[in-house]
Structure 1
Amino acid sequence: MVLPALLFLILFAYLPMGGLVMAFQDFKPWLGISGSEWVGLDQFRYLFEREDSLQVIWNTLVIAVFKMALNLLAPFVFAILLNEVRKQLLKRFVQTLVYLPHFLSWVILGGILTDLLSTEGGLVNRVLTGVFGIEPIFFLGQGDWFRFTVIVSDVWKEFGFGTVVFLAALASINPSLYEAAEMDGANRWKQTLHITIPAMLPIAIVVGTLALGNVLNAGFDQIFNLYNPLVYAKGDIIDTFVYRAAILSGEMGFGTAIGLFKSVISFILVVISYRMAYKLANYRIF
């Protein structure tokens, strides 16, 4: 039963690693890997000499860190609030409603957001102008607003999925703790502060530390479907930069060098994050 998955993994994850040698070559497609000139670390030196490369790395870190923080905080808070709902039907309805966006691709959501945020008749700008008297905002054409839009829309899409983890942690809390606290005169706020939140902190630590390994993954699908040349300075990330450098511009050696740099840093962060998860929450996979 494992063999098909193993063959799939070898074919698509391990065999392509042979192409990493292009990161050390001035790769020419018509010469192939064997015929291209070996340049050593020149591609990596070029990576750190280019001003746009450093800006892309900074953009990736800013977007990814904000996504990580808010995608941890939003489901944490929402799970606590949802846990206080006593009507089970309402609780399940709300949980399903916020969970659904997770299953929509960014191709679909990108089109929806483009229409909603348009400066020419978009629903959001119509509300801002008609109700609050604010001038239309070019959400997808101004760098800072683009970052804001990317982060908020990603949190909206994923926080329902993240809530499931924290609801599972809440379900494991012994009800007798709440009963004892109630007998001692603790109200719902005190019970939340001294029972619910401490019980959720271990899983929050695990989720947060494991997310550290993805700090350089700012979301290729989302950025690719929403960005445009107007926001490259603030919205371009490593993955989209690799796509444009390697596929569109034909700098395959340079694109491979960027991808290898990202993979090495991500591997180090994954090792650190799993070590932190073990130290802080006694969580281990192996």
Structure 2
Amino acid sequence: MRREEVYGMSGSGTGGSAGVAGGKARFDEIYDRPDPRTYFRRLAPLEYEIPHHAQPVFRRAAAERAALDDGHPGRPAVLDVCCSYGINAALLNHDITLADLYGRYTSPARQELSTARLAEQDREFYAERRRPDAVPVFGLDVAAPAVRYALEVGLLDAAFTDDLEQGPPGPALRDALADVGLVTLTGGGSYVTARTFTALLDGARRPVWVSAFVLRTVSYQPVVDALAAHGLRTTLDASRTYPQRRFTDEREREFAVTAVRALGHDPAGREESGRFHSLHYESRPGTP
């Protein structure tokens, strides 16, 4: 079902419980907290690192996409799909690293702060580190507390919780799509399908590029086909993979090894060694 849109709002939420779907662990509870401290404490032992690998890739893509609109009014916005607490937005537009964020949000000194006090400190923290080449970033995620926090501390310029797997964009997201020039994704390929990308591209009014990091346990081909139907050509350097995180247990490892083999990948030295790995897909206008 589609949850409410979050547009210029702030607030808090409740936690849930983790589970396992198809052999891959889910971490639903870390996205329904009012701030990102639980997210980073839970993922730190698993060495979740894909946003670190995406940082230079997304910065380059955002700069190249902005150059395409040089001379036009308004810079094209980045829409980060499955944005959670705005991690990719933080790394894209600020002089910080993922290690900085782990250190900040797992720091014992910050565990006793109220969410309001943490948000106050975060607004100042990010404002001081804002890059001169920062671009507008919109966030899309069904986890309302997470996107609200990212919006409140200034990481996102707009945020939406439309579930495009279940229905079309609402009025606010439809309006925002007029400004989107780049869609980014890290890890959400396990949860969003071609339906989401089709809904976004159907509403686009500028040329849209897509830069996506997708786990090797997931087939991205349906999305590639949907993007091709909208005139986008997808490229992939299959020789390079990007570690995402350590497995939670042996069951996850077995699931991943079996899944990547089924998709024609070799898990040796990657999934067999204890980590999920992603591939990077870049989609831009052109002939497939």
Query: Into which bin does the TM-score normalised by the smaller protein fall?
Result: under 0.3
Instruction: Choose between structure 1 and 2: higher helix proportion.
Output: 1
Higher relative contact order (CA 8 A, sep 6+): 1
Question: Whose radius of gyration is greater, 1 or 2?
Answer: 1
Q: Please, what TM-score do these two structures have when normalized by structure 2? A: 0.24
Return the structure number with greater strand share.
2
User: TM-score when scaled to structure 1?
Assistant: 0.24
